[in-house]
Amino acid sequence: MALSRGNILKTYNNLYGKIISFENLVLAWKRARKGKTKKFYVIKFEENLKENLMQLHTELKNKTYQPKPLVIFILRDPKTRVISKSDFRDRIVHHAVCNIIEPIFDKTFIYDSCANRIGRGNLFALKRFDFFKRKITGNLRKEAFCFKADIKHYFQEVNHEMLVEILERKIMDKEVISLIKQILNNNAQTSSQGDWGIGMPIGNLTSQFFANVYLNELDYFVKHELKAEYYIRYVDDFVILYNSKKQLEKWKEQIDSFLKNKLKLELHPQKSRIIPLSKGVDFVGFRVFYRFKLPRKRNIKKMNNKICEFEKGEIKYANLMASYQSWQAYVKWSNSYSLRRDILKKIAKIKYQKIEQSIPVQLHFLSS
């Protein structure tokens, strides 16, 4: 998808007033609370909603706003990740910033940048993979290869100075840049070389957006410098499909060099490799083969873990079925009919076992 030169070169000023306007803060609050209306911290903030939003507006206007410390917790789902949770009022600020500047940068993103964008997502990426697979193999008649890559410790290694430099190419408003620096510095770390100002918290809306801005540099390098046509990126996972393994090896070296020299990142040595498409490629939650797709084993394990929780009485049947509906809506995009049927049978069997076990207790209660 071609980009106009105007989209790339156009810069923006006088944005801070739009970000901190009361109307934008109201919109940001609505988006921050979506799906969380029953959370205690949302209910508490909304007890004095107008006053709290006005206070936030005043702090931003007077430059007295200070983000609160992040709450850090470990999530194992299924791999272990450190999640940093911002205070609810700070999340409103994150949405306020993204409401105004995200549309500016989204115009410059390549068509196959698939994560955290309206009209995109993992299923969009999966469909593009299938489309490219057919193109590069002559409708599945020829062998081809995939360079499947992952950036090592991506969110922990994003360089703040470089990110701000990229943002400043389009955002000329110094007040906006200052606010962005505040958000970034709320989770700043020191690199192994002693440099201050690296890393973004996994979980922040701004981190998801900045992740796309930062790696848009890689996207342009791959598409416009290397001229790699069959390239898809989903956050820090990306693939390039081609019918020449030798060419992919050359591109791999060039990408690794670009990441190290331009973005202070590097490819993950174990997770970045060239694979024949016939062996299947792990991408956006699926194992993609020539003529079929399967869900990743860890996605199946995740559903089985929920069933075990139900069997042990740790969650209710309604919660289990909500998890199943969400899970099956995702895995149905693969060749998984038998798997989904077997999982549903397993749930039904455990449910009826629980009913049978409860009958003697009910009879004893009625006879007493």
pTM: predicted TM-score of the whole model, two decimal places? 0.86
Please give the full DSSP string across 5-38, using - where no structure is assigned: HHHHH--B-S-HHHHHSHHHHHHHHHHHHTT-TT
The closest of 243, 221, 250 to 135, measured between CA atoms, is 243
Measured CA to CA, the distance from residue 194 to residue 276 in angstroms comes to 40
* Range 56-92 burial, b when 16+ CB lie within 10 A, else e: bbeebeeeebebeebeeeeeeeeeeeeebbbbbbbbb
CA-based diameter of the chain, in Å? 83
Question: Are 23 and 181 within 8 A, CB to CB?
Answer: no
pLDDT at 334: 93
pLDDT at 304: 94
Residue 113's SS3 state is strand
Residue 78 φ then ψ, to 5°? -90, -20
Model confidence over 338-368: pLDDT tens digits? 999 999 999 999 998 888 776 655 545 545 5
Q: How confident is the model at residue 1 (pLDDT cuts 50, 70, 90)?
A: very low
* Adjacent-strand bridge partners of 293: 288
